Amino acid sequence: MGEFDAFFSEHARPIWNYLRRLTGDSERAADLFQRSFLKAWTHFEGRTPGRERSWIFTIAVNQARDEMRRRKRDILHAVPPETLRNRAAVPAMPEEDRELLREVMRGLDELPSHQRELFLLVRYHGFTFAEAAAVADVGVSAAKMAVSRAHEKLIRILSGRLHLGSML
Amino acid sequence: MNCQDYRDRVTVHLADGSETPGDHGDSCAECGRFAELARAAWEVAGRDPDQPVPGGLVESLLRSCRRPRRTDLTLLRPGAVAAAAVLAVAAILLFWPAKAGPGTGLMMDSDGMSVERYDLPAGAKAEAVAEEIRKTVAPETWGEGVSGLEVGDGYLRVRGPAEVQRAVREFLERHR
């Protein structure tokens, strides 16, 4: 198996899911997925061995940012309702849990993009704060702050869901 | 420690365990409740299951990656480009999905023009191997620009029709 094949096999699924959650839109995620891996393919010889995961995530984050700049509007306003329905279509989950997850994911969509970038890296992909900060090109403290604010948003949603009132 | 410090630490602790939130939550009822909700929210967010990459997307991407990288284009000569493109498209249409053989990358088509990378054994002198290939493996194709051979650090990259790729592979196996 070629090196790029192995690289692609290892990282395709995480990158797909990262972009899917980041954009909340399968079509945009597909476009960014292709752009990211084509960029990786073009520059594959220049990668640093052993740091491929951070490398491809950095490419994906930058592709998403470039796309946002091109669209000149925040991802917040670009999430079609249908995507949210698709995203939360988890057949094995009880309806009540599914509804809760749908709300949480909607909350993620409403986060500022830099918070969402970092929260997804840490929550779903196991990045440490230092790693996530490097990928997003921010300081570690800023990364912690962004993830904390994102988390607070989700807690607020859960708090309302459980009829506990606003705690924050 | 104030309430906000505690709450930030709760998140960091849940995320990577690098900070302990401390015992502020024991003496502050709101923060104690916050910590419970924080754990629950963290867990609920994690329930969103990973999904497989759509098959059509993978195929489309791999098809794109079969093309030479920009740096590989130095291998091409103008006269051969059109013919190579026609052959490559025909091969993709006829044989997709292609089955890659041992030691080949995803750029390989089952027929027609393709670009393949051949990793050389440690210590092999890539320039010398390339020179020998040019002399002994389908020598007419290199001179005519039908095939191209690029020397890298520890590898060769060959652009050519399937028979040339096969001959190069056999040559390297014989001399391994």
Asked if residue B169 has pLDDT above 80, the reply is: yes
Asked if residue B174 has pLDDT above 50, the reply is: yes
DSSP assigned state of B54 = P
- pLDDT, residue A128, reads 93
> What is the pLDDT averaged over residues A26-40?
92
Q: Which residues contact B151 (CB under 8 A, 6 or more apart)?
A: B126, B127, B130
Phi/psi at B101 (nearest 5 deg)? Answer: -85, 175
Residues 20-59 of A with CB under 8 A from B: 20-21, 26, 30, 33-34, 37-38, 41-42, 44-45
Asked if residue A167 has pLDDT above 50, the reply is: no
Q: Which of B2, B9, B20 is nearest to A152 (CA)?
A: B9
What confidence category does residue A64 fall into, taking pLDDT thresholds of 50, 70 and 90? Answer: very high
- pLDDT, residue A17, reads 96
Q: Kindly list the residues of chain B whose beta carbon comes within 8 Å of any beta carbon in chain A.
A: 7-8, 11-12, 14-16, 18, 30, 33-34, 37-38, 40-42, 44-54, 57-58, 60-62, 64-65, 69-71, 100, 104-107, 117, 152
What is the per-residue pLDDT across A117-159, written as a single tens digit (0 to 9) for each? 999 999 999 999 999 999 999 999 999 999 999 999 888 887 7
Beta bridge mates, B116: B158
The burial of A77, by beta-carbon neighbours within 10 Å (0-12 exposed, 13-18 middle, 19 or more buried), is given as exposed
What is the per-residue pLDDT across B129-155, written as a single tens digit (0 to 9) for each? 888 888 888 877 776 666 788 888 888
Contact residues on chain B for A128, CB-CB shorter than 8 A: 16, 18
- pLDDT, residue A72, reads 60
Out of A66-75, A108-117, B108-117, which region has the weakest mean confidence (pLDDT)? Answer: B108-117
Asked if residue A88 has pLDDT above 60, the reply is: no
Q: For residues A79 and A75, give the distance between their C-alpha atoms in angstroms, rounded to a whole number.
A: 7
The mean predicted confidence, pLDDT, of chain B is: 76
The predicted model scores a pTM of 0.62
Q: Which of B171, B11, B32 is nearest to A144 (CA)?
A: B11
Contact present, A116 and A106 (Cβ < 8 Å)? no
Q: Which domains does chain A have, with CATH numbers?
A: 3-161 (1.20.140.160)
Tell me the shortest Cα–Cα distance from B136 to chain A, in angstroms.
26
* Greatest Cα-to-Cα distance within chain A, rounded to the nearest angstrom: 55
- pLDDT, residue B99, reads 41
DSSP assigned state of B102 = T
Q: Are residues B47 and A90, on separate chains, in Cβ contact within 8 Å?
A: yes
What is the residue extent of each domain of chain B? 3-45, 77-174
Q: For residues B147 and B83, give the distance between their C-alpha atoms in angstroms, rounded to a whole number.
A: 12
Q: Does A2 touch chain B (CB under 8 A)?
A: yes
**Rg, C-alpha atoms of chain A:** 17
State the best of B9, B31, B50, B59 to mutate against chain A, taking most chain A CBs within 10 Å. Answer: B50
What is the per-residue pLDDT across B2-41, written as a single tens digit (0 to 9) for each? 888 888 889 889 888 877 888 888 889 988 988 888 998 8
